[in-house]
């Protein structure tokens, strides 16, 4: 199965560094995108181009803000299903920021700063790691530190189009101890999209902390949408 893996705000393909080889070992063809993070529309266009570069059906998996991207890209005719990993799944006309504002501020908000052009970036220090990513190994913390790209305000404020999860089978993995995207927000979005939902303990860095669980879920979804055992 073709699987396109979409990182979140500030992320890179290294978000999937331990997931991708597991999927490859299971026989899947994986593509990781590096979205520009200049606007939701730009990221949707960039990920759509990745889908169109492949032959055959595609499964999309998104982490965090990457869920908003796959919610839109999933309308492409090649896409068969969606997997959300502690991710946003906005409804039509909804924004990432609008979802966040319905809940009490997540703990990460204390560490977010605006750049000179209005872009957002987190400022990690030892308190940040203790509060936001306490379950990261030193290796995985280095991965996150090396990502750290600024994300334009437009990725959070542009409204989504018709959500693909209304018509496509969807799976959702909730991070129970997430202090970046509140777990109750994750559960509410998963329920709204009628996703097959499971959960893991731990922080927002689910693809790193629980790579095996993430890969297993994506594989399960790929088998389901491909119709092969």
> Is 225 in contact with 198 (CB distance < 8 Å)?
no
In this prediction the pTM is: 0.96
CB 67 within 8 A of CB 11: no
Q: Tens-digit pLDDT profile for the chain (229 aa)?
A: 999 999 999 999 999 999 999 999 999 999 999 999 999 999 999 999 999 999 999 999 999 999 999 999 999 999 999 999 999 999 999 999 999 999 999 999 999 887 777 777 787 889 999 999 999 999 999 999 998 888 999 999 999 999 999 999 999 999 999 999 999 999 999 999 999 999 999 999 999 999 999 999 999 999 999 976 5
pLDDT value at position 39? 97
pLDDT value for 139: 96
Q: What is the pLDDT of residue 228?
A: 63
Residues contacting 219, CB < 8 A, separation 6+: 23, 26, 28
């Amino acid at each position: 199965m073709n699987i396109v893996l979409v990182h979140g705000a500030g992320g890179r393909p290294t978000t999937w560094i331990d997931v991708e080889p597991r999927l490859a070992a299971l026989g899947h063809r994986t593509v990781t995108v590096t979205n520009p993070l200049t606007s939701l529309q730009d990221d949707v266009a960039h990920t759509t181009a990745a889908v169109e570069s492949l032959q055959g059906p595609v499964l999309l998996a998104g982490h965090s803000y990457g869920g908003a991207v796959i919610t839109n890209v999933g309308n492409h005719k090649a896409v068969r299903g969606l997997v959300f990993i502690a991710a946003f799944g906005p409804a039509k006309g909804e924004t990432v920021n609008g979802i966040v504002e319905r809940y009490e501020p997540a703990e990460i908000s204390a560490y977010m700063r605006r750049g000179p052009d209005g872009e957002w970036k987190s400022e990690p220090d030892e308190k940040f790691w203790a509060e936001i990513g306490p379950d990261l190994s030193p290796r995985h913390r280095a991965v996150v530190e090396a990502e750290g790209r600024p994300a334009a305000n437009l990725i959070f404020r542009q409204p989504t189009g018709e959500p693909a999860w209304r018509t496509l089978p969807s799976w959702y993995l909730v991070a129970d101890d997430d202090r970046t995207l509140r777990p109750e927000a994750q559960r509410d979005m998963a329920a709204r999209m009628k996703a097959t939902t499971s959960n893991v303990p731990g922080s927002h860095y689910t693809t790193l902390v629980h790579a095996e669980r993430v890969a297993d879920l994506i594989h399960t979804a790929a088998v389901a949408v491909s119709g092969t055992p």
